[in-house]
Each structure stands twice: as structure tokens, then as C-alpha cells.
Amino acid sequence: MGTSSGKDKVVLAYSGGLDTTVIIPWLKENYDYDVIAVCIDLGQGDDWEAIKSRALATGAAACYVVDAREEYIKDYVWPAVKGGCVYEDEYLLGTSTARPLIGKILVEYARQEKAVAICHGATGKGNDQVRFELAMKAFAPDLQVIAAWRDPKWTLQSREDEMKYLEDRKIPVPMKKDHSYSCDENIWHISHEG
């Protein structure tokens, strides 16, 4: 269902990083949706007010910050620890255990906002896209899932392309040009991707 603007809504898993910041104007331009950004606090230690301000300044119609730390620890981390879930005896599964909870929360906000779709910014490099989408489809098989990086309308192939996209639209770039990697962090784990 639409907003006061009459447009349909999409809920975006918003981290405040480069990929999801670019996705806000991209969704508006390519789908004509009002974008509802949802930030999920899993203990990253982020400045949520700054991230919320960035989402709104970039064009989101609304931005929610959800404190999911307690649910994440209780329902995901502790069961994983009890089960000895460590990949190759050294890699904590902090990223993979967080994705189903993020998917669940995105569906809850999509229902609350009467959105027609959910979007994530996971690239095709790893399994995050699968983890997000399986969770979303399990909880809401009726909602469209937009995977920006796999969408034929997505023509941005690098971080440099994304930065130029924002610069061309006079949107502040949320990172430095020499910062060529991203981090995934939560209360249990941190990983880096370049």
C-alpha cells in the first residue's frame, strides 16, 4: 500500500554504508517506491542517530532503528555457542546467524508499513543474499524481494561506481575513497570484506 505520496513502499535493510546508501535513490529512481529504511542494532556500536539522519537525507521516507541485541543473543548466539557452531574450528558464525533475525525483523516492518517489497544490499560474493532471502520468503512468501546487486537495472559494478552515482546526485558519500572494504560487526563477531 502507498504512503501519503500515493507510492508503494519498500522496506530496505539499511546499514548506513555505501551499498545501502546508494540503494535508497536507486530504488526511488528504478521502482518509484517510497523507501522505508530499517536499521537493526545487533551490537555493532554504530552511531544510529547519524545513520538515521543519513537515510533521511538520502531520500528515505522514514527510518527505524530496531534494538535486536537481546533477541539476537538469546535466540541465535547462545544456541549457536551451545551447538559448537564454529566454521573450520576458527570462524564464529556471527554474520550467518544474524541474517535470519534481520530477515524476520524486515518482514515485521514490511507488514507494519504495508510495504509491497523488501530490499537488501547483499552482493553476490557470498551467502548473505541467500540467508536474507530464505528468511524473508519463509516469513512472507507474498512479498517481493529485491536483490539490488542481481537486479538487471543495477548497473553499478564497483565501489567507485557507487561513489560516483552518489556524487552525481549531490548526495554525500558515507565513506572515503581510500576505504575499499566493508565490515560486518555485531555483538558476537566482526568480519571484513574487500
Is residue 1 domain-resident? no
Q: Strand pairing partners for 25? A: none
SS3 35: strand
Residue 102: inside a domain, yes or no?
A: yes
Catalytic residue, chosen from 8, 151, 182, 191, is 182
- The grid coordinates listed for 135 are 528468511
Identity at 135, one-letter amino acid code: A
pTM: 0.89
Instruction: Name every residue whose Cβ is closer than 8 Å to that of residue 103 and which is 6 or more positions away in sequence.
Output: 131, 132, 133, 134, 135, 136, 138, 139
- For residue 192, the model assigns a pLDDT of 59
Does residue 82 lie within any of the structural domains?
A: yes
What interhelical angle do 18-31 and 48-58 show, nearest 10? 30
Question: Catalytic pick from 19, 34, 54, 184?
Answer: 19
Per residue in 100-138, pLDDT (tens digit) is 999 999 999 999 999 999 999 888 777 878 888 999 999
Q: How far apart are CA 174 and CA 151, in angstroms?
A: 23
Residue 96 belongs to domain spanning: 9-193
Q: Is residue 92 part of a domain?
A: yes
Q: CB-side exposure of 69: number of CA atoms within 13 Å?
A: 12
Please tell me the predicted confidence (pLDDT) of residue 2.
Answer: 52
The answer to the question of residue 4 being in a domain is: no
Active site residue 128: yes
- Ramachandran sector of residue 62 (left: φ over 0; alpha: ψ -120 to 50; beta: rest): beta
Residue owning grid cell 575499499: 180
* 19 given a catalytic annotation: yes
The whole-number pLDDT of residue 50 equals 94
More confident residue, 15 or 45: 15
Q: What CATH number is given to the structural domain containing 132?
A: 3.40.50.620
Catalytic residue chosen out of the listed positions 15, 34, 54, 128:
128
Assigned domain for 57 exists: yes
Q: Quick one: cell of 140?
A: 512472507
Residue 24 C-alpha cell reads as 535508497
Confidence band for 172, pLDDT divided at 50, 70 and 90: confident
Which residues face 92 on adjacent strands?
86
Q: Distance (Å, rounded) from C-alpha 105 to C-alpha 107?
A: 5
Domain assignment of residue 3, yes or no: no
DSSP 61: S
From the list 54, 99, 131, 159, the catalytic residue is 99
The question of whether 99 is a catalytic residue gets the answer yes
Q: Is residue 171 a part of any domain in this protein?
A: yes
* Known catalytic residue at 182: yes
> Structurally, how many domains does the chain consist of?
1
